[in-house]
Amino acid sequence: MQNRFNRVWAIPISILIIVGLYYVPPIHSRLAWRLESLRTQIRYFVKPPDAAVFQPTQQAQVDLAVTKMIQTLQTTLTPEVTSTPQPGPTLQPTAAQTTTPLPATVMLAGVKYEHQHGRLNYCGPANFSMALTYWGWNGNRDVIGKAVKPTDKDKNVMPYELQDYIIDNVPGTSSIVRYGGDIEMLKRLVAAGFPVVAEKGIYETDVNGKYSWMGHYAFVTGYDETQREIIYQDTYQPDAARNPGPDRRIKYSMFLEGWRAFNYVFIVVYPVEKENQVLTLLGPYADEQWASQHALSVAQTEARSLTDIDRFFAWFNVGTSHVGLFQYVDAAIAYDYAFGIYADLNVNDSVRPYRMMWYQTGPYKAYYYTNRFADVINLADTTLNDTIAEPVLEESLYWRGRAYYMAGKTDLAVKDYREALKIHPKWIPATQALQDLGIQP
């Protein structure tokens, strides 16, 4: 009888022990990504994420506006991507930018390489850590990761989160985020001793064994004009033996192709005493409005000239640039057209970038600020329910919550804000949204 009793209790006790051991930090860090990978593979097999398509509910109402926008592009744009956008601020490049020749090759010393292995979706913390340690910050990927990505569920760290971290935790250091960058800008900054973080798209075999598009940061620390190559630190290291992450090289053309997916955004981290030097190097990019207007000009030109997935990225960038200029109606129209192009792409992981809304929130802002709350909700539903194994994108939850509130569904809004805080505890936007409703997080 005693043996039977022991056998009955042996299984639940063993399960409890196994569960307890799983949450021991060293064991959890090694096993969590494997379990998530297994769960994702099962989910994606049943419901392929590349098959998900968002269709704006107000699409029919903007068809005429889209047609007029396309006609404007066709009649006013030239094929030169580098043309000066108009209108824009009157800042002019300095003499140092236009007359001082740049070295043919630059590779910055003092870079402390970090990879993202052993952590889930740690591209952001690893790259941001390198950007800070270059200037003497005494930390590493885990120090910044605990603040900007406090749970394994958080899939992405956005540029503004790095800026907020620096403001709150790294006195004497500042940063600038701009859109519409180009190779010459990268070379000019790096040659002057300022490495640059760029966010770009890549095609890789992910942890689930799927070859697909994803977002990834690159820490640019050099260039080689003789080979027309960017030199950067790659935290992902898909093949550490044959193609290691430190000082990886990529052709200018390939770098630009990936960079396009994020509207050529770049981030410069620097000591505050060097701010004047950075602003001089940036030239007209020092003005955020000019940079957004320039990015819009580039995106409009590319929307006219490119095809297939690159055309989708270009139209998406048109929307993002309009958001940067607070032109939400035009932004919404551009995003509508981009999503239409997306729907027509081949159903193939290497073609449809189904992770796009994991990294960017421009469409939510455009639809929200044009009172298209149903489209905010529908886009968030598609993103959270169809493109990811678990609904763990705090930005999508937050914007859906805001749209729910405007639609009179306060209970659903509160639920989304609370879910966002489970993914990113103490996240200020969701915390503030609850407090605005008189609810303690």
For residue 441, tell me if it sits in a domain: no
Taking only the tens of pLDDT, the chain with its 441 residues reads: 555 555 556 555 655 565 555 455 555 555 555 556 556 656 666 668 888 899 998 754 555 555 556 655 555 443 333 333 333 333 444 434 445 799 999 999 999 999 998 888 899 999 999 999 999 999 999 999 999 999 988 999 999 999 999 999 999 999 999 999 999 999 999 999 999 999 999 998 766 677 889 999 999 999 999 999 999 999 998 777 888 999 999 999 999 999 999 999 999 999 999 999 999 999 999 999 999 999 999 999 999 999 999 999 999 999 999 999 999 999 999 999 999 999 999 876 568 999 999 999 999 999 999 999 999 999 999 999 999 989 999 999 999 999 999 999 999 999 999 999 999 999 999 999 999 999 998
Is residue 58 domain-shared with residue 23, that is, in the same domain? no
What is the reported pLDDT for 268?
Answer: 98
Domain that holds residue 37: 2-46
What is the reported pLDDT for 374?
Answer: 97
Longest dimension (CA), the chain: 93
Is residue 259 domain-shared with residue 352, that is, in the same domain? no
Query: Which of 286, 320, 335 is the endpoint of a domain?
Result: 286
Cα 38 to chain centroid distance, Å, stands at 24
Q: What is the dihedral of CA 341, 342, 345, 347, to 10 degrees?
A: -160
For residue 114, tell me if it sits in a domain: yes
For residue 296, tell me if it sits in a domain: no
Is residue 313 domain-shared with residue 181, that is, in the same domain? no
For residue 292, tell me if it sits in a domain: no
What is the reported pLDDT for 35?
Answer: 59
380 close to 368: Cβ distance less than 8 angstroms: no
Query: Which of 286, 318, 352 is the endpoint of a domain?
Result: 286
H-assigned helices in 89-209: 95-99, 123-133, 141-148, 159-169, 183-191
For residue 386, tell me if it sits in a domain: yes
104 close to 225: Cβ distance less than 8 angstroms: yes
Is residue 270 domain-shared with residue 310, that is, in the same domain? no
For residue 297, tell me if it sits in a domain: no
Is residue 72 domain-shared with residue 128, that is, in the same domain? no
CATH of the domain at 155: 3.90.70.10
What is the reported pLDDT for 83?
Answer: 35
Domain count, the chain: 3
Q: Give bridge partners of residue 269 from the DSSP assignment.
A: 175
pTM above 0.75, yes or no: yes
What is the reported pLDDT for 309?
Answer: 95
Query: Which of 286, 314, 340 is the endpoint of a domain?
Result: 286
The SS3 call for residue 177 is strand
What is the reported pLDDT for 196?
Answer: 98
Q: How many CB atoms lie within 10 A of CB 240?
A: 13
Q: Give the helix, strand, coil percentages of the chain, each rounded to 5.
A: 55, 10, 35
380 close to 402: Cβ distance less than 8 angstroms: no
What is the reported pLDDT for 350?
Answer: 65
Q: Give bridge partners of residue 173 from the DSSP assignment.
A: 271
